[in-house]
Amino acid sequence: QQALGSSAAKRGMTLEHELNLSNQYYLSVDRAVIHKKPTPIQLVKVDYPRRSAAVVREAYFRRPSTTDYNGIYQGHYIDFDAKETRNKSSFPLKNFHAHQIEHLRHCLKQGGICFAIIRFTNLGQNYLYPASKLIQAWDQQDTGGRKSILLTTIQTDGFPIALGLQPRLDYLAAVDQLLETIKHKGVDYE
């Protein structure tokens, strides 16, 4: 037995933790209602002690069938996943699972505002990257396309997210920019 969290999980928790704090802040000022979904667990054995809470004694992590975050922002359905990479010049697409891409594809079709939040841990940089562009890159892998998205491409088609105090990660400012871009450039970003 070991403490929760490999170094990968710890890195993941940092971005996740900052997003959770930001979401708490957004909720507290009525700006948006966005939550991280709990990790899905397959329960196998549960104890029900007489006078205390049920205890899970055997369970396994399941692969989520959706992205981690969703909610509502001023009438817009918001859906995204958060990913970190230690790479310095590109984001490897293998950080996504096929089912997450399919989920984003379905949400886009329904008119959702969908994206990835990508952190380059070694650069200390965070970007909102539109799901439409992510899906393009994903699909092009099959026809000889790159297995990663260049940082320069992310800087061109995405939106930087500033680090701050309150909220820690003001990603809704980047969503505002995405909404403006969709309004002006339309289908390419939708």
Q: Is 12 in the site for a copy of itself (CB under 8 A)?
A: no
68 binds, among Mg ion, a copy of itself, none (CB under 5 to 8 A by kind): Mg ion
Enclosing H/E stretch for 137: helix 131-140
Q: Is 4 in the site for a copy of itself (CB under 8 A)?
A: yes
Site string for a copy of itself, 99-118 (x = CB under 8 A): ----x--xx-xxxx------
Q: Is the Cβ of residue 9 or residue 44 nearer to Mg ion in the bound state?
A: 9
Of the ranges 50-58, 88-96, 126-134, 154-162, which one interacts with a copy of itself (CB under 8 A)?
Answer: 50-58
Residues 144 to 163 in contact with a copy of itself, rule: CB under 8 A:
none
Q: Is the Cβ of residue 20 or residue 136 nearer to a copy of itself in the bound state?
A: 20
Pairing of strands 113-120, 76-85: parallel
Q: Is the Cβ of residue 68 or residue 157 nearer to Mg ion in the bound state?
A: 68
Minimum Å distance from CB 52 to a copy of itself?
10
Q: Is 43 in the site for a copy of itself (CB under 8 A)?
A: yes
Three-state DSSP state, 156? helix
* Residue 124 Ramachandran class (φ > 0 left, ψ -120 to 50 alpha, else beta): left
Three-state DSSP state, 56? strand
Three-state DSSP state, 138? helix
DSSP one-letter string for 57-110: EEEEE---SS-SEEEEETTEEEEEEEEEE--SSEEEGGGS-HHHHHHHHHHHHT
Q: CA geometry: angle at 73 spanning 67 and 74, to 5°?
A: 155
Name the residues that contact Mg ion, by CB under 5 A: 68, 81
Name the residues that contact a copy of itself, by CB under 8 A: 1-2, 4, 27, 30, 32-33, 35, 37-41, 43, 45-48, 53-61, 64-66, 70-77, 79, 103, 106-107, 109-112
